[in-house]
Structure 1
Amino acid sequence: MYYEEYNLNYNFSTNRLIVKEWHSYEPKDIAQPDLVKVVENILVPEVTKTFPIMWRGKYDTRRAKAWIQEQDSDSKTLLAVERETKKPIGLINFFNVGDKSRGTYLRLGYMLSKVMWDQGFATEFVEGFIHWCKENKISTILARVEPDNIASIRVLEKNNFSSERTDSNGISLLFEYNLLQ
C-alpha cells in the first residue's frame, strides 16, 4: 500500500482543523484522547447509514475497537480535530487502488461527527486532504458515494470531484479527482 511503502508525513491543517494520523495525537493535543471513545462518538447511526452494511448502526466499545483494528489493517486513517476546541470531529481513511504504473490512486472515505454537520467542516476537511495529496504527488483520488447521500455528493462537487459513472457494484456513484490536470 502506498502509505506503507513511503515515509510520508500525514499531518495537514486547514483554517479550522488540525489533521493527523489517528494514533499520533498526544493527550494534550486533543480534548478526547481515547480513540475508541472518539470512534464511538463519531460513528453514530445517522453518520453510518450510508456506509457499507457491515459498518452501519450503533458503535459500542467492542465494535469501535474492532473497527479501528480493521481500518488499521487495510487503510490509513486521519483524525481531524477542531483547532480552537481540540475536539475530534471527523475521520478520513484511504488506501491505494490501481496500477502504480499509471500513478497513485487513493480511495477516499470520510465521515464527520453529526454535531458538526452543516458548518462547512466536511468541505474544508476534503479540501485539505486534496492539498495534502498534491504535495505528496498522488495522481488521483476516488470516492464512492451512495446516490442518496446528497450532503456527501455536494462536498465532493464543491471540491471539484467529477462523477461520470457508477462504481463496480452498479449502485453507488464513483467520484474522481485528477490531481495531474
Structure 2
Amino acid sequence: MDDIQERQTLEVSLSAILSERVLEHLPAPLQLDHQKGGVRSWIDARAEEGQVLLVSWKHSEELIGLMIVASNSEAAESPVIHIGYMLAETAWGQGIASELLRGLVAAVRNEGPTRLAGGVGRNNPASARVLQKAGFVLSPDTSTAETDMFVYDVQ
C-alpha cells in the first residue's frame, strides 16, 4: 500500500473513531473542525504535537485508537513526556487504556528518569481513574480549573 492509500485508510478509520462521545471530554484544540479540513487537518495537528502511536486490535489489526506522546526535555532536569490517548467507543471498558499506559511506562523505564504527564478534563472521571490505576498521581500545582494533571515519575 502506498502512502496516499495509507493516509486515506487512516482518515476513514479515524472518522469512525472520532465520534461525538469520544471527543466530548477533549479540550478545544483536540476537537474535530469540519470547516478547517476535518479529519485530514486533525491528523496533521496531532502529528505536529508529537509522536502519534496507532492502537489496533491484535486479532484484526482494526484501528481502535491512538496515543500521542510529546516530549519536553527543556522543562526540567529530567525529560517530561506529555501523553494523551483516545479509544473508539467499541474499545471502552476493556482495559486497553491501562495496557497502553503499562506499556509506555515499561518502555520509558529504559530511558532513565522521566516524568509522564497526562491531563484529564474534570468532566471525565473514567479517564482519571485509568491514570490513577496505572500509578499516576494528581499534580495540583499543574492542574487548572478545567483540567486535572496527573504525573508518574519513572525512575
**Identity within the alignment, %:** 23
Q: Any conservation in 2 of the 1:92–1:108 contact (CA below 8 Å)?
A: yes
The aligned amino acid for 1:86 is: E
Which of residues 118, 142, 150 in structure 1 aligns to 2:125? 150
1:112 matched to 2:63? The reply is no
- SS of the aligned residue for 2:65 comes to strand
TM-score, normalised on structure 2? 0.84
Once residues 131 and 27 of structure 2 are traced to their aligned partners in structure 1, the CA distance between those partners, rounded to angstroms, is: 19
Q: Deviations over 1:146-167 (max 9, x none)?
A: 1121110111011000003164
1:85 to 37, 60, 71: 60
Aligned residues: 151
Q: Of 90, 99, 115, which residue of structure 2 is paired with 1:124? A: 99
Matches within 5 A, 1:38-117: 38-56=13-31, 62-97=37-72, 99=74, 102-117=77-92
Structure with the higher fraction of residues in helix conformation: 2
The normalised TM-score by structure 1 is: 0.73
Where structure 2 has 5 or more consecutive residues not aligned to the other structure, the ranges are 3-7
Tell me, in whole angstroms, the C-alpha distance in 2 between the residues paired with 1:114 and 1:97: 30
> Which deviates the most, 119-128 or 98-107?
98-107
Q: List, as ranges, runs of 4+ consecutive aligned residues in structure 1 with deviation greater than 2 Å.
A: 54-60, 97-101, 135-138, 166-171
| 2:80 is the alignment partner of 1:135 | no
Unaligned 5+ segments in structure 1 are 1-25, 28-32
